Structure 1
Amino acid sequence: MTTQLNRLPRRMAALLAVTALSLGAAACSSSSDDKASDAKDSSSASSSDSATSGKSAAGDGSDSSSSSASGSSGAGASAVNGGTKASNSSSSTGGKAAAAGASASSRCRTAGLKAAFATGGDAVPDMKSDNQTQASVAFTNIGKRTCTLTGFPGVDLVGNQASDGTWSLTRSTKPVTTISLSPGDTTDFSITLGATTEKGSGTFQPGLVRITPPNEESQFSLKWPFGGAITKQDGATHPATYVNPIGS
């Protein structure tokens, strides 16, 4: 009996120990499940937030791209309206427009040039003959930028005689070249003259020469310094007097 009574406290202690272990295991399992659940929830939230963030970023990127394209188009339109076509969306068109703009902007203007007859040495025409001769007109760049001259100037002869009137010279068939003039540089062109020693009817006595640089509207008025006369052929298809291109 005494032995049984002694065993009872031990069994109770064992049962209590087992119960305590079970409760501890349950508590650990619950804690582990809670942590797993928390981890799962955290992962889900992170994934969801990331997806939302990514969508938002994509949306912002799309908006940014649209805004950028619109801005680029607006800038191009503005540039075009401002006269600079190099900003068009088409690089080839822009390149072509830019080249044209450059050519127009580099052209020598009347205001940036000085014109004068060449009067030295062989440049003086022989007005005392009945043969063709030549007078030369020099253009000097008096501006502050490099410019170009190409093609034929306009030349109008104003006669001294009442019957002369104004004669707008035709062009020769010589090829055209482009001449670049830095500030202070000079180039010239020539006027071929059908000189004559005759007087009166059928002749033209130059008194004033009006010269228009290529592609310009403003003119230079130069007094004819050589005297003499040329055969009047202002209505002829192939007159003996005509103008040659720049650089000839």
Structure 2
Amino acid sequence: MTAQLNRAPRRIAALLAVTAIGLGAAACSSSSDDKAAGTNDSSTAASSDGAASGKSTADGSDSSSGSDGSGSGGTAVNGGTKAPGGSSSTGGNGGAAAGAASSRCHTTDLKAAFATGGDAVPNMKSDEQTQASVAFTNIGKGTCTLTGFPGVDMVGNQASDGTWSLERSSKKGTTISLSPGDTTDFTITLGATTETGSGTFEPGLVRITPPNEKSQFSLKWPFGGVITKQDGATHSATYVNPIGS
């Protein structure tokens, strides 16, 4: 079945410009690797043997999501990677159950990248909410489905930033079926700000976990700018939207 890409035609042009990534297996990254400013474009990969800790949940509840982080292209990493300051970043075990477990997309079936074309680029030089788009492409040999919320953890560049596990929006997701080579996306709503210093968060790495998975993609934040730091807020201006949003 052909993948459904919401918000066309904006998404069509944007997804053509996503940055390609590789899915190489390697050792799990340490806490020092999470410092965004010094992280390489590709991070390490490892299989996880337990549920990730933190705010994220593997079911479809409306609690906060988790994520993974790194750059213009990314590789899968274990959901238990430690964040700066010794705190454990969440595995971002994303969203709602995706139909039959045997047919859902696993991390190894996918590649992930930020959409960087046209109006898919967030306006980080404003004091208003803006959106970044992340594309998932099926690189497997068979059709699989995605539904619900990915986990999204942002690791900041500033010493005071730490790791921020984004909350989920109230939007309802739809099940997206991806044939080999098909692409879908989701958005991250960002509370951009032109302020500097205390009370701001400067994204450096973004860790993204597909729904119901534990292994993450590590993507380097390519857009610069800062957002208002509201990692402890009940209703933050920065949050993750479901697949297909």
- TM tier relative to shorter chain: 0.5 to 0.7
**Partner residue in 2 for 1:105:** 102
Greater percentage in helix:
1
| Structure 2 counterpart of 1:218, one-letter code | S
Q: Does 1:164 align with 2:161?
A: yes
Helix, strand or coil: the match of 2:168? coil
Q: Does 1:196 align with 2:197?
A: no
The CA deviation string for residues 108-131 of structure 1, in whole angstroms up to 9 with x for no partner, is 000010000000001000000000
TM-score (norm 2): 0.60
The CA deviation string for residues 46-86 of structure 1, in whole angstroms up to 9 with x for no partner, is xxxxxxxxxxxxxxxxxxxxxxxxxxxxxxxxxxxxxxxxx
User: Would the aligned equivalents of 2:98 and 2:104 in 1 still touch at CA under 8 Å?
Assistant: no
Provide the aligned C-alpha RMSD in A: 1.4
Gaps of 5+ in 2: 1-96
**Partner residue in 2 for 1:176:** 173
**Partner residue in 2 for 1:64:** none
**Higher RCO, 1 vs 2 (CA within 8 Å, ≥6 residues apart):** 2
**Partner residue in 2 for 1:115:** 112
Whole-Å Cα distance in 2 between the matches of residues 118 and 128 of structure 1?
18
Choose which of 211, 217, 234 in structure 2 pairs with 1:237: 234
**Partner residue in 2 for 1:215:** 212
Helix, strand or coil: the match of 1:115? strand
Percent same amino acid at aligned positions?
Answer: 87
Helix, strand or coil: the match of 1:239? coil
Helix, strand or coil: the match of 2:153? strand
Helix, strand or coil: the match of 1:192? strand
Number of aligned residues: 149
Superposed displacement of residue 152, structure 1 = 0.1
Moved over 3 A (4+): none
Whole-Å Cα distance in 2 between the matches of residues 227 and 159 of structure 1?
11
Whole-Å Cα distance in 2 between the matches of residues 102 and 144 of structure 1?
19
Gaps of 5+ in 1: 1-99
Whole-Å Cα distance in 1 between the matches of residues 142 and 148 of structure 2?
20
Superposed displacement of residue 176, structure 1 = 1.5
Superposed displacement of residue 101, structure 1 = 11
Whole-Å Cα distance in 2 between the matches of residues 181 and 207 of structure 1?
29
TM-score (norm 1): 0.59
Helix, strand or coil: the match of 1:174? coil
